[in-house]
Structure 1
Amino acid sequence: MTVGDLIDRLSACDRDAPVRLAINPFFPMAHRLGGMETSVDEHGRPMVYIAESPKAEQFPLPPAVAVALTWQESSEAPPRRRRRATRPTDGH
């Protein structure tokens, strides 16, 4: 993903919505964003780094988000069938 891709995606979002960074598909958590720095990689290409907040709070990632990111499969409960009523027979 490039900075342009990120800007395009974010431009469709509510400007007042908090931003969280989803981390670790095996133990999905959301992290508050902190600072941002630019640098270059080992080949001299420009890079942008987004850091976690110094407050370092983690929040459980909503299951629907983990499913949308394809980190988990949907885990909807199977439909319930109506049980037949049991009646005592012969007074027992």
Structure 2
Amino acid sequence: MSSAEMTVQDLIDLLSACERDAPVRQALNPFFPMEHRLAQVIQAMDATGKTVVYLAEGGNEHSQLGALPPEIAVKLAWQSPVQPPPRRARRTARGGQ
């Protein structure tokens, strides 16, 4: 990317490496990661008169799909990989002694 903001060309370049029939989703909120379906692409002018493209989720209750899979949050560096706790030796029951 050439600037701090991703451009439409940057997005096209990144998407060109993806499977063309795959659904597109947004990953939102690094502190409570959720995934959403994309429904619209809107081009508009911002307050400075610069053209901006917005990717929007759908407007119905099925647009938010739920929690983002943990492995995606890790790849986005929104979460650290979680390691299972170390296993401890099991205690044995000592009946009647």
Shorter-chain TM band: 0.7 to 0.9
Residue 78 of structure 1 and its aligned partner are, at CA, apart by 4.0
Q: Name the larger-Rg structure.
A: 1
Where do 5+ consecutive residues of structure 2 fail to align? Answer: 1-5
Correspondence 1:11-90 to 2 at 5 A = 11-55=16-60, 56-80=63-87, 83=89
Question: Are the counterparts in 1 of residues 34 and 64 from structure 2 also a CA contact under 8 Å?
Answer: no
Counterpart of 2:11, as a letter, is L
Residue segments in structure 1 that go unaligned for 5+ positions in a row: none
Report if aligned partners of 2:44, 2:51 keep a CA contact under 8 Å in 1: yes
Alpha-carbon separation, structure 1, partners of 2:70 and 2:38: 20
- CA distance 1:9–1:85, shift in 2 (3 Å): same
Deviates more, 1:24-33 or 1:70-79: 70-79
- Look up the SS of the partner of 2:53 in the other structure: strand
Corresponding residue SS for 1:59: strand
Report the Cα offset of residue 38 of structure 1.
Answer: 0.3
Determine helix, strand or coil for the equivalent of 2:73. Answer: helix
Shift in CA distance, 86/12, structure 1 to aligned 2, threshold 3 Å:
same
